[in-house]
Homo-oligomer: A and B are copies of this chain.
Amino acid sequence: MRSPVPPRVLAAELGTMPAGERVVLRGHVHRRRELSTVTFVVLRDRSGLAQIVVRPDEMAAGDIPPEETPVEVSGTAIENPQAPGGVEVVGAEIIALSDPARTPPVELWRPSLSTGLPTLLDHAPVTWRHLAQRAKWQLTAASLRGFRETLDRAGFVEVHTPKIVETVAESGADVFEVDYFGRPAFLAQSPQFYKQQLVGVFERVYEVGPVFRAEPHDTVRHLAEYVSLDVELGFIDDHRDVLAVLREVLSGMVEAVAEHAEEALGRLGVRLPVIPADIPVIHFRDALARVGAPADEPDLAPEHERELGRWARAELGSDVLAVEGYPMRKRPFYTHPQPDDPRWSNSFDLLFRGMELVTGGQRLHRHGDYVAAIEARGEAADAYASYLPTFSAGMPPHGGFAIGLERWVGRLIEATNIREATLFPRDLHRLAP
């Protein structure tokens, strides 16, 4: 039997209630502020905040549950231009829905959070309750929605591929080993091999899932486990077709954030990036020249990326810049060379506000090219026995990219540490919470 109470109203809906309406709210006590004549209780639910005014003759201030306690509030909605949404609740009965909450490790009701990162991370299940923290993840969730909706519309199929694997896709060093029923196995560093093979099935695929990198370094931009947004598509001409899909995806993510996380954007003061209709492209060779680096540098240093980011913003009006043609010797063996000069590759990095966000490109698609590329690196093709046969089975020219989810949101909120954009980060030192 349910009690005959009115249905629950969300805090954000309170402003639409007619004055005098009986309402029931549920949420956490966000703030309890005792004045001489009344106590203000601010309730926090998934939608926002609501103000409840309690007079001493209704409920003694000391009987109001402490902050963070989940409660049910029944009362009357009345207009008050000073209250959030212009409506507050009076004549309220407040019932605790659990034991009184212990004082949290940080003051969750303060508008901004001045706590250091270690405290935030150590107490993550509680500190994520802070509205500014919660807003960060709301950007993440909206971004995921935009990612998928864009690809669904473009005929991509969502796939899920194994995370326990026999063969390592990238270099062998940074990999976690798993005891698989007594056999050694590994945690997938990427769905690379699977997404390529599935291009032969679905032509266009994407996957959102965890990837694992046993990063032995402690940096502000690496995690041992993160969420990778992987895309792969077939029947391309070259990597520029991949970049065109990436452009649509990023644009879709930005639009979804604007549509579904407007409040979070405002709270965090996020400046949404400009994604031009055509992402500007610079060749790696020209990028080196532009930043004054020696022509034989094999990669861009972080300060080079930052400088290119500033240039793209100032000169091209773009928050994103694609650098194409990275030297083949620095790219994985499955990378397709640049047809007119095989020192360079048909691959790219996308810099977002001067930091690498995406790696993508065209892959090899002929079996013979794979065998040659693997052997040229001094490896045995046998090590890829469950991967290579697909390339004898008729694989179209294809390519794809991967976006690091936490890195995307980290750049969006201009965080200094990627852990700020991760619910429960995993790194060299951190395995809990």
Q: Which A residues lie at the B interface, using CB under 8 A?
A: 2, 8, 10, 26-29, 45-47, 68-70, 97-102, 104, 123, 125-126, 128-129, 133-134, 137-138, 141, 144-145, 148, 152, 155, 157-167, 176-181, 183, 185, 187, 194, 197-198, 200-204, 208-210, 212, 214, 216, 224-225, 227, 234-235, 237, 365-368, 385-387, 389-390, 392-397, 405, 423-424, 426, 428, 431-433
Contacts and interface: CB of A to CB of B under 8 A. Distances in A.
B202 A237 contact: no
27 contacts: A26-B235, A26-B396, A27-B203, A28-B396, A29-B394, A46-B157, A69-B394, A70-B234, A97-B397, A99-B367, A101-B392, A102-B393, A102-B394, A123-B389, A126-B390, A137-B157, A138-B157, A144-B158, A145-B148, A145-B158, A160-B405, A162-B426, A163-B163, A176-B180, A177-B179, A194-B424, A198-B423
A68 B157 contact: no
A126 B396 contact: no
A237 B200 contact: no
Nearest to A179: B177
Residue from the set A177, A394, A424 with the largest chain B CB neighbour count within 10 Å:
A394
Contacts of A209: 209-210
A363 to B, nearest CB: 12
A395 B355 CA distance: 39
A134 B176 CA distance: 32
A138 to B, nearest CB: 7
Nearest to A393: B126
B201 A163 contact: no
A395 B54 CA distance: 23
A28 B428 CA distance: 46
Given A164-B224, A390-B125, A237 B159 contact: no
B181 A178 contact: no
A176 B182 CA distance: 10
A179 B201 CA distance: 34
A366 B99 CA distance: 7
A200 to B, nearest CB: 6
B160 A104 contact: no
A374 to B, nearest CB: 17
Contacts of A405: 160
4 smallest CB-CB distances across A and B, nearest first, come from: A101-B394, A70-B396, A68-B394, A125-B197
A173 to B, nearest CB: 13
A2 B134 CA distance: 46
A152 B28 CA distance: 22
A102 B46 contact: no
